[in-house]
Amino acid sequence: MRRLHDLPDDILIPIFSNSDINTFFSLRLTCTSFCAALDTYVRTIAPAVANNTFPGCRVLLTPPVTGYSLRWLRGLIPAYLASVVLDKDKLRRYPYINSGFPYGMPSESDCEEAKHWRERVANGWRVLRSLYMISDSAYAGSQDDLRRPNAMRRVSSGMRSSRLWQAMSCPYPGCTEHGMKHIFDGRDRRSSDTSQGHRKESAIESISRRESIVLKRRLALLEKLPDHDLLSYVYLWRLLQWTFRPYRMPKTKAGVSQQQWSPHHEPQERNWSSIISDITQGCSWLNWFVLSVGSSLFFEQWSLNTAPNPPGSFTLQPNVAQSDLVRNTIWEAYDMRTPHQIEVEREYICKFEFALRKRCLSPLRLKSLEAEIYRGRQIRTISLDCIPWVYDQHPMIARPPSDFPWYESGQWIWLDGQLCLQTRPGTTWSQPGMLKLSLGTCRTRGWEIGSGYSELLSGEDVDGDGLADIVKGSLEQVPYLVYLGVEEAGKVWARSEADVAEFVF
């Protein structure tokens, strides 16, 4: 019986052509014969693999001018992630309420401005992956590489491991693990057994040393990267911060898994609203988490792989486990950490983000920052708002239709679920009732990918016969948002009757 790698190339090519992009690159690492076949026939295999991984993504799969190659195929991953975050940016809490347009760029738009910003955000994903690889390499190293000399360890370990030292020297105000109330706590007392040659260093000291190594290597990388790449990374974070939501998915009930809290964290300690808001300042634990897991986690959740259709169904459904992958990974990682460890990780990511964002400041803002530091003011964070972006401006700013070349005036835009929005240039959605006039509810009958036709429910907000051509696009089933909280949106994001220009997805 012949083994797979012994088969002739004319049989292997159809087999490889039915794989997705992750399988393709995994096969290249399997054996030399597979690698040789894939590299030789990449111009034939790459288009099929790309179509299997990104079905319906017409703009993304535009044939390259230089021909199909491994470089083009590998570059599709950050390009796809950029297309997703820009397309789904329309799900922000607020649209441009004085302009009549939502945020976001449709993934189907092929205007030059949309292509430009997709490339910038894709470059931001590449920078993020480079920063992740540094963390992955540091944490994959041996513990022995982090040990201090034995003499130094013997001198300092006894005092630093005492409960009094930890209570008095902990520099983190947000740490609930250490404090005066824990000095006389009998739990976790240090063992008096000295038979071993050396005691194990505390986990926190090990993490601090690893994070110090990661910070040093990342700062060294920043010296080599041009400002253009750093700005692309900042632009990516301006989009990613809106991916996380501090409440549970609307129209759902809190499940049992959501109520199983970690012994390290009480329910009231999980202030996801504050954690998400800190992303803007670069001092959030989520900043650290994203750089520690890289882009692969988001690519897996946002992939276009779908579960088989239920009997009698005409709609592809996303995998349930896939839709909550990022959320569950965040919960698991957060629950495994003590409050002190979280504060340590926040400290190091804050130092890195400050150094990176300082490079991105305009000369005027940089001069002002240095003047404040010279006067003795301690500044540890720089807000994303200090680094302007033409695409991303405050929702209250009135912008002309020419700033939105990827949208047409009067175009119906599918937002999420059954909700769609009509662009109305110059409309002031902040006035009561105005946003409602631009919203519609769509209902699909026998929806097929690529057909793009829906029936708009007739009502007082819809003119004519209620029919509209609404293109949901290939990203219809992508589970984009990450719901971290367990409470309803209304309890987390307080809304008033006058606050009508607001989306809660």
Phi first, then psi, for residue 349 (nearest 5°) are -70, -30
Average pLDDT estimate for 123-151: 81
Q: State the pLDDT at residue 358.
A: 97
Under 8 Å between Cβ of 87 and 106: yes
| Statement: residue 382 has pLDDT above 90 | yes
| Statement: residue 454 has pLDDT above 50 | no
- How confident is residue 171, by pLDDT bands cut at 50, 70 and 90? low
Task: Name every residue whose Cβ is closer than 8 Å to that of residue 74 and which is 6 or more positions away in sequence.
Answer: 25
Q: Tell me, yes or no, whether 354 lies in a domain.
A: yes
Stronger pLDDT, 12 or 354, i.e. the higher one: 354
Q: Alpha-carbon distance 109 to 118, whole Å?
A: 11
Under 8 Å between Cβ of 497 and 285: no
Q: State the pLDDT at residue 433.
A: 79
Whether 209 and 336 share a structural domain: yes
| Statement: residue 97 has pLDDT above 50 | yes
Digit-coded pLDDT (tens) for 352-361: 999 999 999 9
- How confident is residue 60, by pLDDT bands cut at 50, 70 and 90? very high
| Statement: residue 57 has pLDDT above 70 | yes
Average pLDDT estimate for 144-168: 49
Q: State the pLDDT at residue 4.
A: 75
Whether 51 and 163 share a structural domain: no
The domain boundary, picked from 46, 68, 87, lies at 87
Whether 57 and 163 share a structural domain: no
Whether 83 and 172 share a structural domain: no
The domain boundary, picked from 87, 105, 126, lies at 87
Average pLDDT estimate for 302-322: 54
| Two tokens, residue 103 | 């945020």
Whole-angstrom CA distances from 200 to 62, 155, 188, 191, 194 are 55, 14, 14, 11, 11
Q: Alpha-carbon distance 428 to 413, whole Å?
A: 18
Q: Tell me, yes or no, whether 19 lies in a domain.
A: yes
Whether 81 and 148 share a structural domain: no
Q: State the pLDDT at residue 462.
A: 41
With left for phi above 0 and alpha for psi between -120 and 50, is residue 136 left, alpha or beta? alpha
Q: State the pLDDT at residue 426.
A: 87
Q: Tell me, yes or no, whether 191 lies in a domain.
A: no
Which amino acid makes up residue 222? L
Tell me which residue range forms the domain holding 33: 4-87
Residues of the chain with pLDDT > 70: what percent?
Answer: 74
Digit-coded pLDDT (tens) for 417-452: 888 999 999 888 888 878 888 888 875 443 333 333
Digit-coded pLDDT (tens) for 393-406: 999 999 999 999 99
Q: Tell me, yes or no, whether 442 lies in a domain.
A: no
Q: Tell me, yes or no, whether 56 lies in a domain.
A: yes
Whether 83 and 174 share a structural domain: no
Whether 152 and 36 share a structural domain: no
Q: Alpha-carbon distance 206 to 212, whole Å?
A: 10
Whether 33 and 169 share a structural domain: no
Q: Tell me, yes or no, whether 244 lies in a domain.
A: yes
Average pLDDT estimate for 185-198: 44
- How confident is residue 316, by pLDDT bands cut at 50, 70 and 90? very low
Q: Alpha-carbon distance 118 to 422, whole Å?
A: 23
Q: How many CB atoms lie within 10 A of CB 350?
A: 19
Whether 174 and 46 share a structural domain: no
- How confident is residue 144, by pLDDT bands cut at 50, 70 and 90? low
Q: Tell me, yes or no, whether 96 lies in a domain.
A: no
What is the rounded average pLDDT for all residues in the chain?
81
- How confident is residue 5, by pLDDT bands cut at 50, 70 and 90? confident
- How confident is residue 498, by pLDDT bands cut at 50, 70 and 90? very low
The count of domains in the chain is 2
The domain boundary, picked from 71, 87, 103, lies at 87
Under 8 Å between Cβ of 91 and 101: no
Average pLDDT estimate for 248-261: 66
- How confident is residue 18, by pLDDT bands cut at 50, 70 and 90? very high
| Statement: residue 265 has pLDDT above 70 | no
Q: Alpha-carbon distance 92 to 319, whole Å?
A: 24
- How confident is residue 177, by pLDDT bands cut at 50, 70 and 90? low
DSSP per-residue letters across 226-265: -HHHHHHHHHHHHHHTTTEESSPPTT----TGGG---TT-
Q: Tell me, yes or no, whether 114 lies in a domain.
A: no
Whether 297 and 173 share a structural domain: yes
| Cα 303–Cα 93–Cα 271 angle in degrees, nearest 5 | 85
| Statement: residue 185 has pLDDT above 70 | no
- How confident is residue 176, by pLDDT bands cut at 50, 70 and 90? low
* pTM for the full predicted model: 0.85
Whether 210 and 353 share a structural domain: yes
Whether 65 and 157 share a structural domain: no
